[in-house]
Amino acid sequence: MSHHLFDLSDRIAMVSGAASGMGRQMAIGFAEAGANVVLADLNLEGVEVTAHEIEAMGRRALPIKCDVSDVAHVRALYESIDNEFRRVDVVGNVAGEGHMGRPEELPVETLQEVLNNLVVGRFISCQEAGRRMIEQGKGSIINFGSIGGWNSLGRGHTPYGMAMAAGIQMSRELSTEWASRGVRVNAILPAQVWNQGLKDRVAAVPELEDTFLGGIPMGRLGEPEEIKGPAIFLASDASSFVTGAILPMDGGNLALNAGGTYPGSPRMYA
Ligand SMILES: NC(=O)c1ccc[n+]([C@@H]2O[C@H](COP(=O)([O-])OP(=O)(O)OC[C@H]3O[C@@H](n4cnc5c(N)ncnc54)[C@H](O)[C@@H]3O)[C@@H](O)[C@H]2O)c1
C-alpha cells in the first residue's frame, strides 16, 4: 500500500510531451497516484492514446494539441484547463527539442528556435501555471532539464545545453520568487533515457551506446517509466519542503562528473 503523502487524488496535473516517452509515463504515473491529467503534445493522436489509458483507470484526461514553442498555444492550453477544471495543481514541462550540429556552423535562426522552444515556451508555461497556483496558494511545477544543462556533453548539443542550463536557472529563480506563496518549482535532469530518437541514433552508430554507457556508472540507459517515482515525489506533498531542487535522474552520471565522454560521439561529425 502506498503512503498517503504520495497521493494525488483529485489534483489536476498538466504534462507536456505526453504522447510518448517520459512525458507519457509521467502523465500515467500521476493518474496512477490519483490525478486527473491534461495531456499536451504536438502529436494529438498520441495524447489521445495516453488519454484512453488514463480514462480506463477511472481518471479524467484532456488531450490537447499544443506546440510548446508557440506562446499563443501555451496560453490557450491554460485557458482550456481553466474551462475544463478551473485549477491546476501540478505541471510537468517535459516537451522540447534540441538541434545537433557543429557550433561553429550553427545558424543563429536555429539557436533562436531551440531557445524559443526550450526556454521561452517553458517560461510561459511556468508563468501561466504560477499565476494560477499563487492564487490557489499551492502548486508544484516540474521542469525537465538534462545532464547536458549541467555539464558539457561535447556531442554537437551546444544550443540544447545552453537552453537546458537556462531552464535549470529559471527553476531556481522561480522557486525563490514563489516559495513563500505556496508554489514549488523543481527540475529533473535525466541522462540518456531510451526513446525512439535514441534507438534510431544507436541503430545508425552502434558505438554510440558504449559512449553513453561510459558516462553512466549504473551501466545502463534509463527507461521512460523510471520518471514516475521522481515525478510523483516532486508533484506530491511528499516533497512539501522541497523547492529549487535540481534532481539528477542519471544512473550516477553527474556524481561521476561525466557529462559527455571526450571526444564526443563516435562519427558524430563524419
Ligand atoms: N531521452 C533522453 O535521453 C533525455 C535526456 C535528457 C533530457 N531529455 C528531455 O526530456 C524530454 C522528453 O524526452 P523523451 O525521451 O521522453 O522524448 P520523446 O521523443 O519520447 O517524447 C517527446 C514528446 O514531446 C513532443 N514534442 C516535441 N516537441 C514538441 C513541441 N514543440 N510541443 C509539444 N510537444 C512536443 C513529441 O511529440 C513527443 O511526444 C525532452 O525535452 C528531452 O529533451 C531527454
Determine the pLDDT at residue 267.
67
pLDDT tier for residue 155 given thresholds of 50, 70 and 90: confident
Whether 128 is in the pocket of ligand 1, judged by its Cβ within 6 Å, is: no
Does the pLDDT of residue 262 top 90, yes or no?
Answer: no
Cα–Cα distance, 169 to 181 (Å, whole number): 19
Of 45, 46, 62, 64, the closest CA to residue 54 belongs to: 62
Determine the pLDDT at residue 2.
83
N- to C-terminal Cα distance for the chain?
52
Measured in Å, residue 97 CA sits from the centre of ligand 1 at 6
Determine the pLDDT at residue 36.
98
Determine the pLDDT at residue 268.
65
pLDDT digits (tens, 9 = 90+) for 219-251: 999 999 999 999 999 999 999 999 999 999 999
3-state secondary structure of 263: coil
Measured in Å, residue 96 CA sits from the centre of ligand 1 at 5
Does the pLDDT of residue 261 top 80, yes or no?
Answer: no
pLDDT digits (tens, 9 = 90+) for 38-62: 999 999 999 999 999 999 999 999 9
Whether 69 is in the pocket of ligand 1, judged by its Cβ within 6 Å, is: yes
Measured in Å, residue 221 CA sits from the centre of ligand 1 at 16
Determine the pLDDT at residue 260.
73
Whether 21 is in the pocket of ligand 1, judged by its Cβ within 6 Å, is: yes
Query: Does residue 129 contact residue 121 with C-beta atoms inside 8 Å?
Result: no
Whether 43 is in the pocket of ligand 1, judged by its Cβ within 6 Å, is: yes
Residue nearest to atom 3 of ligand 1 (CA): 192
pLDDT digits (tens, 9 = 90+) for 69-85: 999 999 999 999 999 99
Whether 164 is in the pocket of ligand 1, judged by its Cβ within 6 Å, is: no
Q: For residue 43, which atom of ligand 1 is closest to its CA?
A: 37
pLDDT digits (tens, 9 = 90+) for 168-227: 999 999 999 999 999 999 999 999 999 999 999 899 988 889 989 989 999 999 999 999
Residue nearest to atom 32 of ligand 1 (CA): 67
Does the pLDDT of residue 270 top 60, yes or no?
Answer: no
Report helix angle 71-85 to 121-136, nearest 10. 30
Measured in Å, residue 92 CA sits from the centre of ligand 1 at 12
For a ligand 1 pocket test, name from 195, 199, 221 the mutation site with the most ligand atoms within 8 angstroms of its C-beta.
195
Kindly report the pTM of this predicted structure: 0.96
Domain chopping of the chain, boundaries: 4-249
Cα–Cα distance, 136 to 140 (Å, whole number): 11
Query: Does residue 148 contact residue 89 with C-beta atoms inside 8 Å?
Result: no
pLDDT digits (tens, 9 = 90+) for 104-151: 999 999 999 999 999 999 999 999 999 999 999 999 999 999 999 999
Whether 66 is in the pocket of ligand 1, judged by its Cβ within 6 Å, is: yes
Whether 120 is in the pocket of ligand 1, judged by its Cβ within 6 Å, is: no
Determine the pLDDT at residue 196.
94
Q: Mean pLDDT across the stretch 9-18?
A: 98
Top-tier CATH class for 4-249:
alpha beta
Determine the pLDDT at residue 173.
98
Determine the pLDDT at residue 93.
98
* Residues marked as catalytic: 160
pLDDT tier for residue 1 given thresholds of 50, 70 and 90: low
Measured in Å, residue 166 CA sits from the centre of ligand 1 at 17
For residue 114, give Cα distances in angstroms to 108, 110, 124, 157, 238: 10, 6, 15, 11, 34
